[in-house]
Amino acid sequence: MEMSDTAFRKALQHYDDGTAERADLKLLTKELLKRLVAKAPGHAVEVRVPPYGAVQCIEGPRHTRGTPGAVIEMPPDLWIDVALGRITWSDALLTGKLRASGERTDLSTLLPLG
């Protein structure tokens, strides 16, 4: 089932108002991860936004078992802000809430996702 733009805008309004619930965070997280994969398809980097989602993106070597060689992990609120360009990638790293290890884990050239 395809998510409507209206649902995304409504969830984003709740987020901006400070009234976002788990469902809003989940919807925003998953949609923005989907946009990342559309912009940078591949399997070289795993982007994790617990507890709502994880995707593989960016061209390069694919991992098949265990922890991938390139992993990015951050909380949903930081992912939403970074993905929408409300905070830069470098500023997100400075928060200490974004963990990135391995090659190709700088997403700054792919952001914002809109």
CATH code of 57's domain: 3.30.1050.40
Q: What pLDDT is recorded for position 63?
A: 63
Nearest to 76 by CA among 59, 92, 103, 53: 53
7-29 mean pLDDT? 97
The number of distinct structural domains making up the chain is 1
Q: Residue 40: inside a domain, yes or no? A: yes
Helices (H), the chain: 5-17, 22-39, 76-83, 89-94
Would you say the pTM of this structure is higher than 0.85? yes
Q: Residue 113: inside a domain, yes or no? A: no
- Residue numbers of the domain that contains 70: 5-107
Q: Residue 14: inside a domain, yes or no? A: yes
Q: Residue 112: inside a domain, yes or no? A: no
The share of the chain scoring above pLDDT 70, in percent, equals 91
Nearest to 109 by CA among 81, 80, 89: 89
Q: How far apart are alpha carbons 11 and 27 in whole angstroms?
A: 7
